[in-house]
Amino acid sequence: MTPQQDDLFLGLDIGGTKCAAVVGRNDGQILHRTQWPSLSHRGAQAMIEDLCAQAHKLIHDHPGIVAAGASIGGPLDAERGIIQSPPNLPGWDNIPLKQIISDRLGLPARIEHDAAACCLAEFLWGAGRGAARLVYLTCGTGFGAGLVFDGKIYRGAGGKSLEIGHARFRDDGPEAFGKRGSVEAFCAGASLGKIAAWKFPHRWPAPPTSEDLSSLWRTGDRDAAEVIQINARAVGEVIANLADLLRPDAVLLGSLALHLGPSWLEIVRHQFRLEALPDTVCRIDPAGLGTRLQDCSALVVAVSAVDERE
């Protein structure tokens, strides 16, 4: 069914650090937002109770809500709405989240991989408008890839999410996504500290925070600069491989592009130009929705759930 002008949608953004719930319209307008810490060590059941409690409050206050959607990290089966052990969400093992949300809230629901949801939101409302082939890379707590081709999310066989973070990038390196030297270990924003502890173990026997490293980098610290460069060059290499394979019109970047800014992005673009085929041309830009992206990504999943209304 086609969304109506007065329809409202409930979006849930589920992350390892924080969760949020939003109410909005099908044009990307956010009317209300609430956020709370995930406390993910408690496991899936406790987090789901928090999500449903916040959702019920919003449904009570906004009677025009017609569908719900959740954006969450993978691996997951988006078609069936089953969460399959994301590395940043302990205890989320084969959780039928779509069915749980639909049953608990009494609304049609849809679940989507966070990177894919961000990509669709950028395609509809952000910097990806007009791109027939769009790639989005999260560059945040994890390193996820979302693809939107001809206006539709691309998923793997059986509705499986695309998990580029798990791919092997180097024979050695920090560990993330259960694999030493993985793409996520080098490219995620949360991996900056892991890179520092791996590269400079005497200075950082335990991983420093990404915020501390970025602050040191801005003051001219050489070790911090090398860590940032390792990360940015890795992101550029990954984009080059994706661009040669998929030939997208644009690649949009999440958290690190926003937090580290143009200096980081230029290293990424430079490495891309060194690695990609000469005839591979695509623009590489920060996500256009900026700080609104996570909220809009949850909202867009809910908007897509109207197709399931009876």
pLDDT, tens digit only, all 310 positions of the chain = 565 668 999 999 999 889 999 999 999 999 999 999 999 999 999 999 999 999 999 999 999 999 999 999 989 999 999 999 998 899 999 999 999 999 999 999 999 999 999 999 999 999 999 999 999 999 988 899 999 999 999 998 888 889 999 999 999 999 998 899 999 999 999 999 999 999 999 999 999 999 999 999 999 999 999 999 999 999 999 999 999 999 999 999 999 999 999 999 999 999 999 999 999 989 999 999 999 999 999 999 999 988 554 4
Return the ∠ at Cα 301 (arms to 298 and 304), rounded to 5°: 155
The Cα 310–Cα 308 span in angstroms is 6
Helices (H) and strands (E) in the chain, counts: 9, 15
- In 3D space, the residue among 288, 307, 306 whose CA is nearest the CA of residue 297 turns out to be 288
- CA 170 to chain CA centroid, Å, is 23
Enter the tokens of residue 296. Answer: 């809009």
∠ Cα 288 291 292 (to 5°)? 75
Residue 79 C-beta-side C-alpha neighbours within 13 Å: 7
Helix (H, G, I), strand (E, B) or coil at 144: coil
pTM: 0.93
Cis peptide before 75 (omega within 30 of 0): yes
CA gyration radius, the chain: 19
pLDDT value, residue 55: 97
Euclidean distance between CA atoms 69 and 300, whole angstroms? 8
Dist. CA 186–CA 238, nearest whole Å: 10
Q: So what's the pLDDT on residue 310?
A: 43
- Residue 208 preceded by cis peptide, ω within 30: no
Residue 235: name the closest of 258, 265, 278 by CA. Answer: 265
Whole-number pLDDT of residue 3: 59
Q: Other C-beta atoms within 10 Å of 283: how many?
A: 12
The crossing angle, in degrees rounded to 10, of helices 210-218 and 255-275 is: 70
Orientation angle between helical segments 210-218 and 222-246, nearest 10 degrees: 110
Strand order in the sheet with 76-77: 76-77, 82-84, 93-95
What is the per-residue pLDDT for 306? 80
* Calpha distance 146→123 (Å, rounded): 11
Domains of the chain: 8-113+292-308 (3.30.420.40), 127-288 (3.30.420.40)
Which two structure tokens, joined as six digits, stand for 11? Answer: 């979006």
